[in-house]
Amino acid sequence: MAKKRRIIEKEVEEEYEFIPPEFDEKEFILKDIYGTKVLMAVALLSVIIGILCSCVQKAFGDSLGLWIGLALLFLSMFCLPKILGFFRLKAEYLEQKTMIGNYILFVLLGLGIWILMVNAPFV
């Protein structure tokens, strides 16, 4: 049997017009420059902490120095907003996801420098 065809009336679609929000280019650039300054300070601090952790590991021996170095690395990561305050940089001005990225960069770069410093070419 053949199916009955239904006549579907087209519904009247609402007209929607997208109005973009106002974009403040100067504020965007200033925020981006400030975020870059904080990123550079975090990178510099992580290099310094990586070198300190390698010195601590050499001073206290491999097993005890490893744990003291890890404690130093993670303690300095948790104190990073206060340390940035000494450079007159406020972590509160940045978005939370930006600071999480800075924390991850700090730990990974610090560990990388630490690994380089305790191995053969730099010993």
Closest-CA residue to 95 (of 42, 41, 38, 21): 38
pLDDT, averaged across the chain: 90
pLDDT tens across 46-89, in order? 999 999 999 999 999 888 999 999 999 999 999 999 999 999 99
Residue 12 confidence (pLDDT) above 80: no
Domain coverage including residue 87: 42-122
Residue 11 confidence (pLDDT) above 70: no
- Has residue 111 been placed in a domain? yes
The pTM score is 0.79
Buried-state track 56-91, b at ≥16 Cβ within 10 A, e below 16: bbeeeeeeebbeebeebbeebbeebeebbeeeebeb
pLDDT band at 108 (very low <50, low <70, confident <90, very high): very high
Displacement of CA 83 from its chain's centroid (Å): 16
pLDDT at 2: 63
- Has residue 49 been placed in a domain? yes
Q: How many domains does the chain have?
A: 1
- Has residue 32 been placed in a domain? no
Mean pLDDT of 36-48: 96
